[in-house]
Amino acid sequence: MVRINPSILAADFANLERDVASISNADLIHVDVMDNHFVPNLTFGLQMVGRLQEVSTRPLDVHLMIEDPDRWAPEYAETGAYSVTFHAEAARDAVALARRLRQSGARAGIALKPGTAVEPYLELLPEFDQVLVMTVEPGFGGQSFRESTMPKLALLRSAVMKSGLDIWLEVDGGIDEETISVAAEAGADTFVAGSAVFRSDDPAGRIDLLRSLAEQHSH
């Protein structure tokens, strides 16, 4: 099954409720939390996410680009996020943290920057509900998709198939009508798109288009 998760990083921050309502055909709403330490950009935090969850008809897919997720991530789960994804590079104990997220009722996700190898995480897959392969350097929307990250997806897809686990494989960064097919063919089933959705006159139509392209190219 294909999922399209628009990133509100590209939405109008003064009109988030309106913009979220304009994409009711999205699967989840992707929320990029940045702390100006793990990445050189600052967005929103716990209170914003809690309030957004109250007004959104779609579940939230929270992507934490923060230092010390061991300390902060569980609070995002407790505030009602459907999934909470933290960075492998930032976590002290990724397995313990994933277990705490699941105990709090969220899906547990782990994210890998473009330069982070996936191999050490393959044997830990049963601990996670989703793996996020960053297809740009985290921090900003509107960057170009890095095809060099696709071999990681292929490795993940074959490990997931072998394990028989139902783990979402998500890509984030530079996903548009061209690149979504490349990522789908490599094994992704969950697609974050910021600019491609919100820099369009018809965000909902763009979601439908991305979904059908991904479906055509998925395994």
Q: Retrieve residue 143's tokens.
A: 């960057």
x/- letters, 150..189, toward Zn ion (CB under 5 A): ----------------------x-----------------
* Residue 27 designated active-site: no
Helix (H, G, I), strand (E, B) or coil at 29: strand
Residues binding ligand DX5 (CB under 6 A) = 7, 9-10, 30, 32, 63, 136, 138-143, 172-175, 192-196
Nearer to Zn ion, 97 or 111 (CB): 111
Binds 85, which of Zn ion, ligand DX5, none (CB < 5 to 8 A, cut-off by type)?
none
Which residues are CB-neighbours of 135 under 8 A, at least 6 positions away? 114, 145, 146, 149, 171, 172, 173, 174, 175, 179, 183
- Torsion angle defined by CA atoms of residues 45, 124, 118 and 38, in that order, rounded to the nearest 10 degrees: 20
How many positions of this chain bind Zn ion (CB under 5 A)? 3
Binds 109, which of ligand DX5, Zn ion, none (CB < 5 to 8 A, cut-off by type)?
none
Nearer to ligand DX5, 87 or 100 (CB): 87
Contact 26, 52 (CB under 8 A): no
Cα–Cα distance, 67 to 34 (Å, whole number): 9
Interface with Zn ion, residue 113, by CB under 5 A: no
Nearer to ligand DX5, 140 or 217 (CB): 140
Cα–Cα distance, 87 to 92 (Å, whole number): 10
* Residue 172 designated active-site: yes
State the catalytic residues.
Answer: 32, 172
